Amino acid sequence: MKFHKKTIRDVPLEGTTVLLRADYNVPLAEDGSVKDDFRIRASLPTVKALLKKGCKVVIVSHLGRPEGRDESLTIEPAAQRLAELLGEPIRFVDQTVGNKVKMAIKRAPKRSVVVLENLRFHAEEEANDEAFARQLASDTGAKYFVQDGFGVVHRDHASTAAITLCIPSVAGLLLEKEYVSIVKAMRHPERPLVAVTGGAKVSDKIQVVKELVEKADSVLVGGAMANTFLAGLGQSVGASKYEAGQAEVVKDIVTLAGKRSAELGVDLSEFLELPSDVAVAKSVDDKHVENMPVDAVTEHDMILDIGTVTAEHFARTIANAKTIIWNGTMGFAEKEVFSHGSAAVARAMTQNASAESIVGGGDTADFAIHWDTKNGDSFSHISTGGGASLELMAGETLPGIEHLLDA
């Protein structure tokens, strides 16, 4: 499959200053250090390729969702980790635009890396403000813009949209790899196509679950997403995490799933698989975990994982698939005791050697990489994107990609 956008291979970047948009929105530990550097490591091929071309590489990214300047969300720890991974010093500037930025870039030698402060310290970033994008382009003196922040290309922001109006804009190597891996598997998927969805960002993702119901041969639902489905269908979920106000969408999805399963000639419960049993505790710190049928859940129970019977069902469906996409953990997988459902999904995916297996989502990718003895290589592709990968899997077009120069 050919990528339809120009990449860093297609333009004369040699010796130029390049503005590189990365997604260094990484989890931080309590001491402020980088807890997981998957996204930073994934950006290395592009950074190294640009250095090899003798570029001044000016990197911008967001981190978290700050409202204005917020020192706890400085991008500096990510910049430090990048320097460690590159094995060479880089320059960090505690401003995103302005004189300090201009001076630092002017002073930086050819073939060097400068990292600018968190884009979202400026409200103009999320407002997709063209004046801000112009200032970013002119203060950095960049000749080209390289989009490599795959995780953020589903957003219409200054560094994904407006910037492309200011300087010639091409894709980085990570963006290209993510796009090709996901679209190749999803455009004409080998069937059965099984979509496994879970996690907690329910309102962010539930519309995409609906689109997957129209595309997939089975949709398996776990995590707080499943709690939301159960609650929406009138089932008591006790003290579990779920999103209220989603009952209408849930019912829509179930109706749609009913039509799809009839078309496919299978039972609804085989097409849209919700947990029939769950792992329950009194809190996320509770070590006493009980497995029970969904209808046995009482007021003070928290559903924190899918149950053993459900995990077996999910694994069987995954074993018969030819393409599997997974976004969202099956439970509170940060804690080992609530990670069995997610582990069962990961095991079934990796044991199905003939299937294409794609994992997306920050927490889901984190889980999959740490669960896998081969650091994630047992899956066909682990995406650095959360919402971005899910939208691409569902067949949506992503603004941060579409705005780039056509190949």
Q: Which residues are the active-site residues? A: 39, 201, 362, 387
Among 76, 380, 364, residue whose Cα is nearest residue 224: 364
**Using CB distances below 5 to 8 A depending on partner kind, what does residue 155 bind out of Mg ion, ligand ADP, ligand 3PG, none?**
ligand 3PG
Residue choice 120, 201, 260, 381 for contact with ligand ADP (CB under 6 A): 201
Torsion of CA 32, 62, 150, 396, to 10 degrees: 120
By CB under 6 A, tell whether 23 contacts ligand 3PG. Answer: yes
Identity of the residue, 60 or 224, whose beta carbon is nearer to ligand ADP in the bound complex:
224
Alpha-carbon distance of 45 to 62, in angstroms, equals 20
Alpha-carbon distance of 343 to 340, in angstroms, equals 5
Residues 35-74 that bind ligand ADP (CB under 6 A): none
Q: Which span sits near Mg ion by CB under 5 A: 135-143, 216-224, 225-233, 362-370?
A: 362-370
Phi, psi of 401 (to 5 degrees): -95, -45
By CB under 6 A, tell whether 155 contacts ligand 3PG. Answer: yes
Q: Which span sits near ligand 3PG by CB under 6 A: 102-110, 147-155, 289-297, 367-375?
A: 147-155
Identity of the residue, 73 or 333, whose beta carbon is nearer to ligand 3PG in the bound complex:
73
Q: What is the number of the residue whose Cβ is closest to ligand ADP?
A: 361
The structure tokens listed for 146 are 């390289």
Parallel, antiparallel or unpaired: strands 218-221 and 193-197:
parallel
Residues 264-323 that bind ligand ADP (CB under 6 A): 303-304
DSSP string, 25-57: ---B-TTSSBS--HHHHHTHHHHHHHHHTT-EE
- The mark string for 65-94 relative to ligand 3PG (x by CB under 6 A, - otherwise) is x-----------------------------
Per rule CB under 6 A, count of chain residues that contact ligand 3PG? 9
Kind plus residue range of the DSSP H or E element containing 146: strand 144-147
**Using CB distances below 5 to 8 A depending on partner kind, what does residue 331 bind out of ligand 3PG, ligand ADP, Mg ion, none?**
ligand ADP
Alpha-carbon distance of 333 to 252, in angstroms, equals 29
Residue choice 362, 378, 388, 404 for contact with ligand ADP (CB under 6 A): 362
In order of 132, 136, 362, the CA distances from 97 in angstroms are 8, 6, 28
Identity of the residue, 150 or 332, whose beta carbon is nearer to ligand 3PG in the bound complex:
150
Q: Is the distance from CB of 330 to CB of 221 less than 8 angstroms?
A: no
Among 3, 4, 13, residue whose Cα is nearest residue 145: 13
Alpha-carbon distance of 134 to 161, in angstroms, equals 12
Identity of the residue, 152 or 393, whose beta carbon is nearer to ligand 3PG in the bound complex:
152
By CB under 5 A, tell whether 176 contacts Mg ion. Answer: no
Identity of the residue, 132 or 332, whose beta carbon is nearer to ligand ADP in the bound complex:
332
Identity of the residue, 189 or 328, whose beta carbon is nearer to ligand ADP in the bound complex:
328
Q: What is the number of the residue whose Cβ is closest to ligand 3PG?
A: 25
Residue choice 360, 362, 387, 400 for contact with Mg ion (CB under 5 A): 362
- Own/partner contacts of 265-271, CB < 8 Å, gap of 24 or more, are 270/218, 271/217, 271/218, 271/219
Which residues of this protein are in contact with Mg ion, per CB under 5 A?
362-363
Which residues of this protein are in contact with ligand ADP, per CB under 6 A?
198-201, 223-224, 227, 241, 303-304, 327-329, 331-334, 361-364, 386
